Amino acid sequence: MSFSSLGLSDPLVSAVSQYVSATPVQSAAIPLILKGGDLLATAQTGSGKTMAYVLPLLQRWLTARRETPRRVHALILVPTRELAAQVTQEVLRCSVHLPERIKVVSAFGGVSINPQMMALRGGADFVVATPGRLLDLVEHNALHLNHVVSLVLDEADRMLDLGFADELGRVLALLPKRRQNLLFSATFPEAVHALADGLLHEPARIEIVSAPAEMPVIQQRAIEVDAIQRTQLLRHLIKKEGWSRVLVFVAKQYTAEIVAEKLRRAGISAMAFHGELSQGARSQVLGDFKESAVQILLATDLAGRGLDIVELPVVVNYDLPRSAVDYTHRIGRTGRAGKAGVAVSFVTAESHAHFCLIEKRNHLAVAREQIPGFEPLDTAPPPSPSTGGIKGWRKSKKDKLREAAARQASSQS
């Protein structure tokens, strides 16, 4: 379906003229958002959901009454600073031909709050923010949210997974009761159900399930290896397979730094990417990786969502993700925009049972491989009765607390 047939104005259609047609989530969401009602949309990573809400919100802003100082018309909440930056860029790109200049402010933690407070002088039309920093700005009296017309929760599942339920509840309490609520999520676990039930009023619902021909072409591989041999195996595969760029997921910041250092000693350009880096360092590392100045990016799950890297050929799970959902988001960094990709998971004796659980929950059957010279010697440890078995079979105390916090946030809306 063409963008011009969705009810968008000519300046907005011109801004996206490079696209032949709208994606399924855009075709379904844009007319509904233009009507002003609430929306619950479920669509996989890379489906074009950002433009699905940015375009109609810009059109609604065009028809809104202007006041001085500017009042926040649309508030877009996101889980990470990387996603905040990308959404901000999308708003600016889509508004390039509008007859009036829009003011967009991006706000996130990890950097000084002062420039963001300065940017908010005179108000803003769109604010794209992480919940914690948004509350900091409100407490500093840098902005007010009592005139917000539209609220967007982008990657709601990730926000709850990162523990933002309490902050979300506090933000919702600051918003006007009458507003448009748009909730976008790649997955729809119980915590998101609870949030949606309390937040949305008679919402339209969209669930985009990609047809087989539209699914990303991702070759999934599972390589059995001893934990102590993973770095050597990674180095071997990079050279043997001729991988030009690889996003490698690890569980800890320490691991990211250590493995990156070992790869550099072997003559491979590698950098770590995690939450302890300053915003400037993170932007520099990510920019170098996108430009292929860095070949290997060692990342914690901070990078699991919100990264849009053009033609990323390979993703490696050095450490397996905590959940089956995170596995889907990790490998979804490759195989985008019609390009094929490869997702490799290192399966150790200790993580074998967990990978089986990931396969079961994602309805997968990935053949196990062994690479000559790296055949595993370790054997799987017996399950410990004190731990309750494999992570994922039953809810942890932390998961239960998150769900309770989500319900509390919903009740405050």
Average pLDDT over every residue of 330-334: 85
Residue 400 within any structural domain of the chain = no
Is residue 386 in a domain?
Answer: no
Residue 268 has pLDDT above 90, yes or no: yes
| Whether pLDDT at 392 is above 50 | no
pLDDT at 214: 47
Give the closest residue to 150 by CA, choosing from 105, 117, 183.
183
Are residues 138 and 182 both part of a single domain? Answer: yes
* Domain co-membership, 295 together with 205: no
Do 178 and 235 belong together in one domain? no
Tens-place pLDDT, residues 59-79? 999 988 777 789 999 999 998
In this structure, the answer to whether residues 35 and 110 fall within a common structural domain is yes
Digit-coded pLDDT (tens) for 82-139: 889 889 999 999 999 999 999 999 999 888 999 999 999 999 999 999 999 999 999 9
Q: Quick one: average pLDDT of 26-46?
A: 91
Same domain for 236 and 195? no
- In this structure, the strands spanning 368-369 and 296-299 are unpaired
For residue 407, CA distances in Å to 84, 152, 195 come to 25, 18, 6
Cα(232)–Cα(235) distance, integer angstroms: 5
Instruction: Answer yes or no: do 263 and 199 share one domain.
Output: no
Residue 387 lies in a domain: no
CATH number for position 236: 3.40.50.300
What pTM, to 2 d.p., does this model score? 0.67
Q: Is residue 395 part of a domain?
A: no
Put the strands of the sheet holding 180-185 in their side by side order.
104-107, 126-129, 74-77, 150-154, 180-185, 39-42, 204-207
Q: Is residue 88 part of a domain?
A: yes
In this predicted model, what pLDDT tens digit does every residue of 41-60 receive, in sequence order? 988 766 789 999 999 999 99
Same domain, 166 and 235: no
**Residue 70 belongs to some domain of the structure:** yes
Do the beta carbons of residue 183 and residue 76 sit within 8 Å? no
The answer as to whether 394 is a domain residue is: no
What six digits make up the tokens of 125? 């039309």
Max avg pLDDT among 14-18, 192-196, 313-317, 390-394: 313-317
- Same domain? For 106 and 188 the reply is yes
Shared domain check, 222 and 204: no
pLDDT tens-digit map of 212-231: 434 458 899 999 999 999 99
Residue 305's pLDDT band (cuts 50, 70, 90): low
| Same domain flag for 179 and 283 | no
The verdict on residue 391 lying in a domain is no
> Which one has a higher pLDDT value, 161 or 100?
100
Q: Number of folded domains in the chain?
A: 2
Contact by Cβ (8 Å): 53, 33: yes
* Tokens 């991702």, located at residue: 218
Same domain, yes or no: 268 and 148 = no
391 pLDDT more than 90: no
**What domain range includes position 330?**
216-381
Alpha carbon 249 to its chain centroid, in Å, reads: 14
The pLDDT, as a whole number, for residue 111 is 86
The pLDDT assigned to 329 comes to 81
Check whether residue 332 and residue 235 sit in a common domain: yes
- 374 Cβ contact partners less than 8 Å away, ≥ 6 residues apart: 223, 225, 226, 229, 232, 233, 236
User: CA–CA distance from 226 to each of 69, 316, 319 (Å)?
Assistant: 61, 16, 12
* Residues 7, 10: Cα–Cα separation, whole Å: 9
